[in-house]
Amino acid sequence: ASGLNSAIVAAGKLYFGTATETFTLEDVEYATQVSNTADFGQLSPANSMKWQSVQPTQDTFTFDGGDAIADLAEANGQLLRCHTLVWYNQLPTWVSGGGFDNATLIEVMTNHITATVTQWKGKCYAWDVVNEAISDNGDGSFRSNVFLDTIGEAYIPIAFAAAAAADPDAKLYYNDYSIESDSPKATAALNIVKLVQSYGVKIDGIGLQAHFIVGSTPSTEAQVANMEAFAALGVEVGITELDIRTDTPVTASAQTQQAADYASTIDACMQVDACVGITLWDWTDKYSWVPGTFSGEGSALPWDEDLQKKEDVYDAMIAAI
């Protein structure tokens, strides 16, 4: 039987995958399905490689959660996308409120990157080195956070250089949302690629998170043009956190539109050589982050809360590959 991953690999892409988390693996039926490589050839840890999880207090590293996901991927023969090194969110207060000066924060940041990347050296297809560095104020400016405010924009190339030194074989990505079609924010992401390159530091890819909304997902054409703009700078792209949410309870017509939105997004990746793969931000509504973050919204994934396929959505996804 053909699944999302087997079909996309047969069509020349590297993977179709999903985010997952350690506690959900205790759900036996969930664990069985997440290990089904016909559908999922790649895993991303939803939380367990984040700064708060890895180094909750200074110089105390806990790699157990990330190890569990890395081990599962290895046992299943799945690729691993490692997520994420430098982000303003899920960042412990010893960093965000630590009052470090420029030189000390650079040392703290590079130390975190070196230790974390070294832990999973050789296991990560890619690292999301910097996450969500662009603000949502519409002008494409950098997001104010402790790294920008203390180090300046150089924190971005410094982070990429540290990651490259620790694992030269991992693809190094910048990852963000609302950069999936042309906008000031997408232009700012293009400028991040140029910024890192201008420092003589390597950047390999752009992660298009793709947290979309049913009925306002960017068109295939808009997504293709955007991916090509990144490819023209010499980087690959991945759709890294795909989900398409709607008001709950979901209506039949919303689910029909959702099937079309999943299909148009997959179609865009299929049309662009530089798009290497697609990752769902978990695969079942049972463990989706959406209802906890966007009040009144959910039903964002191709499997429902009972781990059952939404057949119409799934079939449209397969057909788009």
Instruction: Work out whether 46 is an interface residue with ligand XIL (CB under 6 A).
Output: yes
Who contacts 119 (Cβ-Cβ below 8 Å, separation ≥6)? Answer: 61, 63, 66, 67
User: Which of these, 110, 113, 36, 39, lies nearest to 82 by C-alpha position?
Assistant: 113
Residue 39 corresponds to which tokens in the numbers above? 């559908």
Q: How many residues bind ligand XIL (CB under 6 A)?
A: 6
CB of 312 to ligand XIL, least distance (A): 25
Is residue 26 classed as helix, strand or coil in its secondary structure?
Answer: helix
CB of 26 to ligand XIL, least distance (A): 16
Write each residue from 240 to 269 as x if it is in contact with ligand XIL (CB under 6 A), else as -, in one continuous string: -x----------------------------
Instruction: Work out whether 86 is an interface residue with ligand XIL (CB under 6 A).
Output: no
Q: Which is nearer to ligand XIL, 155 or 289 (CB)?
A: 289
Spatial separation of the C-alpha atoms in residues 216 and 257, rounded to whole Å: 10
Tokens 């429902």 found at: 304
Instruction: Work out whether 22 is an interface residue with ligand XIL (CB under 6 A).
Output: no
Q: What angle do CA 138, 143, 146 make, to 5 degrees?
A: 165
305 is catalytic: no
CB of 94 to ligand XIL, least distance (A): 19
State how far Cα 59 lies from the chain centre.
Answer: 26
Q: Which of 155, 212, 289, 303 binds ligand XIL (CB under 6 A)?
A: 289
Instruction: Work out whether 131 is an interface residue with ligand XIL (CB under 6 A).
Output: yes
241 is catalytic: yes
Residues 152-211 interacting with ligand XIL (rule: CB under 6 A):
209
Q: Which is nearer to ligand XIL, 47 or 284 (CB)?
A: 47
Who contacts 167 (Cβ-Cβ below 8 Å, separation ≥6)? Answer: 117, 118, 120, 121, 122, 124, 127
Instruction: Work out whether 212 is an interface residue with ligand XIL (CB under 6 A).
Output: no
Residue 127 corresponds to which tokens in the numbers above? 């690292």
- Which residue number places its CB atom closest to ligand XIL? 289
The total of other beta-carbon atoms located within 10 Å of residue 28's CB is: 8
Instruction: Work out whether 279 is an interface residue with ligand XIL (CB under 6 A).
Output: no
Options 21, 132, 180, 236, the catalytic residue? 132
User: Which of these, 255, 247, 243, 220, lies nearest to 300 by C-alpha position?
Assistant: 243
Torsion angles phi and psi, residue 262, rounded to 5: -60, -45
Q: Which is nearer to ligand XIL, 46 or 193 (CB)?
A: 46
User: Which of these, 125, 122, 132, 123, lies nearest to 51 by C-alpha position?
Assistant: 132
CB of 18 to ligand XIL, least distance (A): 11
Instruction: Work out whether 47 is an interface residue with ligand XIL (CB under 6 A).
Output: yes
Residues forming contacts to ligand XIL in the complex (CB under 6 A) are 46-47, 131, 209, 241, 289
Catalytic residues: 132, 241
